[in-house]
Chains A and B, each alone.
Chain A
Amino acid sequence: MRVQILSLSMLLATCAAPDVRDVPPSPQESRASEAPRTPDFVTDAALRSGAGTYLLELDPPLAAMPDNESFRFEVRVADAHTRQAATDITLAVDAAMPEHGHGMNRVPRVSRLADGRFAVEGMYFHMTGRWELYLDVTRGAWTERAQFRVELSDE
């Protein structure tokens, strides 16, 4: 199976979020923050939601999503500016084949795990071809979509 992922969001995430941890802190910064920095909830592989509010890290990643097989994945959702877990949000997941005019024929079950992660179960891409994966992050009355393209091939 070969999977290609094309995601503008991913490119943006790569460009807009350089790994600041690799930059050595200045002596002043070291004195100012003696307590160790809270580790980021997501890694630099995280994808960005449509308006850039959230970072989402999928495990297994998009590239490992199978065709014609039921699968589950986990999602970490972080606020993009703090890189810490977004704990006051809800998550809904769906997917569709835009060229075919249909989706998965199912709504995956999303459940919140103990440490701020989400489990997404009951996913099924029943055809090869271009899928769009939608992760809708809702905080209060505001929903922001993270949308990623998954090209599935069985060759």
Chain B
Amino acid sequence: MKLALFVLLLAQVPSVQDASWSEREWAKARAHTPLPGPRPSPTNRVADSADAARLGQRLFFDPRFSANGSVSCASCHAPDLGFADGKSLSMGLARTARHSPSLWNVAQQRWFFWDGRADSLWAQAVQPLENPKEMGFDRVSLARALRGDATLRAEYEQLFGALPDVASWPERAAPGDDASERAAAWKRMSADEQRAASRVAANFGKALEAYERRLVRDDAPFDRFVAGDATALSESAQRGWKLFAGRGNCRSCHSGPAFTDGEFHNIGIPPLAGGKPEDPARYAGIDLVREDPFNAQGEFSDAREGDAALELEVLERTPQNFGEYRTPSLRNVALTAPYMHEGQMKSLADVVHFYSTLEGATQIGHHQEQVLQPLKLSASEAADLVAFLESLTGTPPPAALLAPLEEKR
């Protein structure tokens, strides 16, 4: 009798092994696929120009635009490392404060950097160029380097008009409040010279954006499964989707075809160095993007009055923004370990473990997401969730897009 009752109870408990999806789970899945084309980039008139993309690809892999001639965009955004760098904290000329985010499907984003301090991909690209810890270059040296390379100069001038005459400019100059020689040299330049140099930097960013918009990696097993290929997902990954869309509540933030809401949240990840979080993140990012001379409202924008400019105007900074970081896309996430804004977590299993337990989560007042609760996953559930995340790895674009252009300069 006891045995019979036990068997009956077992029969009434829904099997955790059931991989089939309900109608609602299918409906939720359809909200994530297919991946649409890149978001419009109205502030960059060459965003979708093939010529600009070709120039951008040259610039992306070229280490000459760095203070020591050895750091390029690809140093921290390496194609074979998921367009990231595999490190916790990125290393340019020196170690930086944050983890390199992947560039796969980067044109799906609305804000750039972990703190969203750039509102376009072209505005983003200018900052590593001059950051002393990244490429340590400067916009005057950039103009001079472009003039000195016949191919780059011809391609630049075809897109953006004549490069400025740099003969009378200082050797190096970039704006800054620091006591560096390049900042002092910048102050000695006339306003017209400064504007001309900044325009070269903006155009450098616009060509890079045109290239980066083509770094699309979609058509993942998940996409194919939802489109009807029943063999595309393992049963484990199918069960993982049920957790992702159900009890995990992952799609609360990782929503839409890019698996991100594009906004900023504080999930209590402890700092890599230990202690309490001191990085203001989005709290600082809001002011930085508003003050960025390369933002949508700035003089180098190709649409100063449009929707992109309005996005800046309505931004509001509140104490709640302290410690918030941009929700990363989960497409191709298996290619880009380690994870989080300082690469605190070595593997997807570690990430899932964190959400399962919230072990070590920081508490900074009441600013973190209030909906975050430990998921208390079993080992097999955690494995299923990882299997689902691994099913978001898409098909890469042609290899020629992922390496320096081979054609003769």
A101 to B265, CA, bound (A): 11
The answer to whether A107 and B310 have CB atoms under 8 Å apart is no
Q: With A127-B253, A128-B255 as given contacts, are A122 and B28 in contact (CB-CB < 8 Å)?
A: no
Point out the residues of chain B lying under 8 angstroms from A128, CB to CB.
251-252, 255
The answer to whether A105 and B31 have CB atoms under 8 Å apart is no
Q: How far is the CB of B39 from chain A (nearest CB, A)?
A: 11
Of the listed stretches B144-152, B314-322, B375-383, chain A binds: B314-322
Q: How would you classify the secondary structure of chain A's contact residues: helix, strand, loop or mixed?
A: loop
Point out the residues of chain B lying under 8 angstroms from A29, CB to CB.
none
Q: How far is the CB of B261 from chain A (nearest CB, A)?
A: 5
Partner of B262, one of A68, A99, A102, A129: A68
Quick one: closest B residue to A129, CB to CB?
Answer: B252
A129 to B252, CA, bound (A): 8
Quick one: closest A residue to B320, CB to CB?
Answer: A102
A47 to B263, CA, bound (A): 30
The answer to whether B264 and A122 have CB atoms under 8 Å apart is no
A101 to B316, CA, bound (A): 16
The range of chain A's interface size is 20 to 34
Q: How far is the CB of B324 from chain A (nearest CB, A)?
A: 9
Quick one: closest A residue to B265, CB to CB?
Answer: A102
- Chain A CB within 8 A of B178 CB: no
Q: How far is the CB of B251 from chain A (nearest CB, A)?
A: 8
Point out the residues of chain B lying under 8 angstroms from A70, CB to CB.
307, 310-311
- Chain B CB within 8 A of A100 CB: yes
Quick one: closest B residue to A102, CB to CB?
Answer: B320
Point out the residues of chain B lying under 8 angstroms from A129, CB to CB.
252
- Chain A CB within 8 A of B230 CB: no
- Chain B CB within 8 A of A52 CB: no
- Chain A CB within 8 A of B12 CB: no
A-B contact pairs, 22 of them (CB 8 A): A67-B255, A68-B255, A70-B311, A100-B370, A101-B320, A101-B366, A102-B369, A105-B316, A105-B321, A106-B315, A109-B313, A109-B314, A121-B310, A122-B311, A122-B313, A122-B314, A126-B261, A126-B263, A127-B252, A127-B253, A127-B261, A155-B24
8 A-B pairs with the lowest CB-CB distances in the bound complex, closest first: A122-B314, A154-B31, A155-B27, A101-B370, A106-B314, A126-B263, A107-B316, A126-B261
